[in-house]
């Protein structure tokens, strides 16, 4: 019950942040696209888009350190937490240096024959790339601080910082709309500067707030722990790097075959999918520490229960937003963006389908990581990711349309799903039969039924705001009804009811309503 209350509190805080930040972010993207134009927006998505991928890299590496932090908290070992933090600081400094060197070498190759960028925009693109490298360095060395915040489940600070980030991004969007300087170069510089500023704030906050955040390598260095964390972080980094190289590689392949205008459509797709993913990731941010702490306290049953429930809830939360958006995508993009890039609608729809499928096993990587044995699991995932790029290149040489790359990504996700389930069974004792019955079948049946109900207005109404309103109303009614009758099992309903009750009581206690 205490864990459920904690998850409820943190989830409510993070969703309050989401209500504020999503609207700001989507409006900011509209301003940026109008200010830059489709061409420059496509250039930024090719070169500066890696900044967004670094956010993912940061989260992935932070989860590796957080695994050790949360495990030590589950054990109740305060001294070990200081050792973990100092080892993590040293480890990520070395990783940052290696990544900077790698990016510089990769940049030389990319800007000498790989990327298709107009000669008059090449200098701005190279400037953006250097801003990216600076941002990458600060992002990586601040990973230990993100891990500490997540391990302590301090979602209030995460929420405040997220709101600040959205406001500053909106300010940047307004600035480049009216600036007389080169808009593309200005945007890249300000986005990189924002990343550095936010990471500095995290570091200052952690040093003042948490006892274990004490940088003294000589005093707190633990050689066996360093070897263990280096091994774990190395395999985690391999998995993250494979994912990043693949996703950024698809951007480069699209650019080389179809040019920056298709990259602009991909950039719109990334914005839509990123904002909707944030809703399901919000819940995971609150749940992941509970999974690792359960394993740290030798409560494998609670760990598996939390993981299975997390997969289902994450999928359903994303489906709640994704289903009406997929159905009304042409109208939504037309209202949101004055000039909708070609292929944006199909890219967005396929991207949301892909992301929805990833949610079916999204917590298993945390559960498998909690056991500490991730080498074999990570290698297979990395191989699958890297295999995608040559496949996509071959497909496009045969004359396939740009959307083929998203179909390939969906096929890759299905293969990764099988790998996640296999290693969830092998490492954690997951029951495959129960997973298929309680997660896969329930989620897919719920999706089919909700989608059928929500699509009804399309048969007798033309695209308009009133039809969108009808779709959203039907989605809300269908989602609540279907989720509590088909989506959730009896056991999960017993978990959900106390969490909802706790959240309502907390709101009443704080006089946030009634």
Q: What does the pLDDT look like over 190-206, one tens digit per residue?
A: 877 887 888 889 888 98
* Start-to-end Cα distance in the chain: 25
Segment (H or E) for 84: helix 78-109
- What pLDDT, on the 0 to 100 scale, is given for residue 247? 77
What span, in angstroms and rounded, lies between the C-alpha atoms of 31 and 271? 13
Number of Cβ within 10 Å of residue 285's Cβ equals: 17
Segment (H or E) for 301: helix 300-327
Q: Which residues contact 172 (CB under 8 A, 6 or more apart)?
A: 28, 187, 190, 191, 194
What span, in angstroms and rounded, lies between the C-alpha atoms of 26 and 278? 13
What span, in angstroms and rounded, lies between the C-alpha atoms of 505 and 511? 10
Q: Are 50 and 110 in contact (CB under 8 A)?
A: no
Is this prediction's pTM over 0.75? Answer: no
pLDDT level of residue 74 (50, 70, 90 thresholds): low
Of the candidates 306, 242, 308, 187, the one whose C-alpha atom is nearest the C-alpha of residue 56 is: 242
Of the candidates 134, 133, 124, the one whose C-alpha atom is nearest the C-alpha of residue 181 is: 124
What span, in angstroms and rounded, lies between the C-alpha atoms of 85 and 220? 9
Residue range 428-440: mean pLDDT, rounded: 89
Residue range 398-421: mean pLDDT, rounded: 90
What span, in angstroms and rounded, lies between the C-alpha atoms of 295 and 304? 9
12: pLDDT strictly greater than 90 = no
Lowest-pLDDT range, 6-20, 273-287, 400-414? 6-20
| Dihedral, 413, 265, 49, 145 alpha carbons, nearest 10 | -60
Of the candidates 424, 427, 448, the one whose C-alpha atom is nearest the C-alpha of residue 436 is: 424
Of the candidates 338, 340, 424, the one whose C-alpha atom is nearest the C-alpha of residue 381 is: 424
Q: Please state the domain extents for the chain.
A: 2-509
pLDDT level of residue 40 (50, 70, 90 thresholds): low
The SS3 assignment for 213 reads: coil
What span, in angstroms and rounded, lies between the C-alpha atoms of 274 and 351? 10
What span, in angstroms and rounded, lies between the C-alpha atoms of 46 and 452? 37
| Dihedral, 396, 398, 402, 408 alpha carbons, nearest 10 | -70
- What pLDDT, on the 0 to 100 scale, is given for residue 417? 94
Q: Are 155 and 10 in contact (CB under 8 A)?
A: yes
- Residue 31's alpha-carbon distances to 169, 268, 328, in angstroms, are 11, 12, 22
Lowest-pLDDT range, 107-111, 184-188, 276-280? 276-280
Residue range 414-428: mean pLDDT, rounded: 91
pLDDT level of residue 1 (50, 70, 90 thresholds): very low
Task: Return mean pLDDT, the chain.
Answer: 79
Q: What does the pLDDT look like over 341-364, one tens digit per residue?
A: 778 888 889 989 998 998 899 888
- What pLDDT, on the 0 to 100 scale, is given for residue 478? 93
Cα 268 → chain centroid: 16
């Amino acid at each position: 019950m205490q864990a459920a209350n904690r998850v409820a509190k943190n989830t409510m805080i993070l969703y309050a942040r989401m209500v504020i930040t999503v609207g700001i972010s989507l409006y900011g993207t509209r301003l940026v696209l109008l200010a830059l134009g489709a061409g420059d927006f496509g250039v930024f998505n090719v070169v500066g888009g890696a900044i967004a991928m670094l956010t993912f890299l940061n989260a992935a590496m932070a989860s590796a350190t957080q695994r050790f932090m949360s495990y030590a908290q589950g054990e109740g070992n305060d001294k070990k937490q200081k050792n973990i933090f100092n080892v993590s600081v040293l480890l990520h400094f070395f990783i940052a240096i290696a990544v900077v060197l790698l990016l510089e070498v990769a940049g030389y190759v990319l800007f000498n024959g790989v990327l298709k960028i107009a000669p008059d925009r090449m200098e701005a693109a190279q400037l953006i790339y250097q801003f990216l490298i600076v941002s990458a360095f600060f992002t990586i060395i601040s990973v230990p601080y993100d891990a500490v915040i997540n391990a302590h489940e301090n979602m209030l600070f995460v929420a405040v910082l997220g709101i600040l980030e959205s406001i500053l991004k909106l300010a940047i969007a307004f600035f480049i709309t009216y600036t007389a300087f080169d808009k593309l170069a200005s945007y890249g510089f300000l986005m990189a500067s924002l990343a550095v500023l936010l990471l500095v704030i995290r570091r200052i906050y952690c040093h003042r707030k948490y006892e274990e955040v004490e940088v003294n390598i000589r005093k707190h260095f633990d050689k066996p722990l360093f070897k263990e964390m280096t091994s774990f972080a190395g395999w985690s980094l391999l998995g993250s790097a494979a994912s990043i190289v693949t996703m950024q590689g698809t951007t480069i392949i699209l650019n080389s075959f179809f040019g920056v205008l298709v990259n602009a459509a991909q950039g719109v797709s990334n914005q839509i999918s990123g904002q909707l993913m944030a809703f399901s990731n919000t819940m995971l941010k609150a749940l992941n520490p509970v999974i690792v702490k359960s394993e740290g306290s030798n409560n494998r049953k609670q760990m598996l229960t939390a993981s299975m429930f997390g997969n289902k809830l994450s999928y359903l939360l994303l489906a709640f937003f994704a289903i009406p958006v997929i159905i009304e995508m042409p109208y939504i993009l037309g209202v949101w963006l004055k000039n909708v890039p070609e292929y944006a609608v199909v890219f967005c729809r396929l991207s949301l389908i892909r992301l929805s499928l990833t949610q079916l096993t999204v917590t298993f990587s945390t559960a498998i990581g909690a056991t500490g044995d991730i080498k074999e699991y990570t290698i297979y995932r990395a191989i699958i990711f890297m295999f995608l790029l040559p496949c996509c290149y071959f497909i496009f040489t045969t004359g396939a349309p740009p959307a083929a790359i998203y179909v390939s990504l969906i096929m890759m996700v299905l293969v990764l799903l099988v790998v996640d389930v296999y290693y969830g069974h092998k490492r954690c004792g997951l029951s495959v039969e129960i997973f298929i019955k309680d997660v896969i079948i329930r989620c897919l049946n719920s999706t089919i039924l909700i989608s059928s109900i929500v699509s009804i207005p399309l048969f007798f109404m033309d695209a308009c705001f009133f039809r969108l309103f009808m779709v959203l109303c039907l989605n809300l009614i269908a989602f609540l009804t279907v989720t509590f009758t088909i989506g959730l099992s009896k056991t999960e309903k017993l978990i959900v009811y106390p969490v909802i009750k706790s959240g309502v009581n907390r709101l009443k206690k704080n006089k946030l309503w009634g």
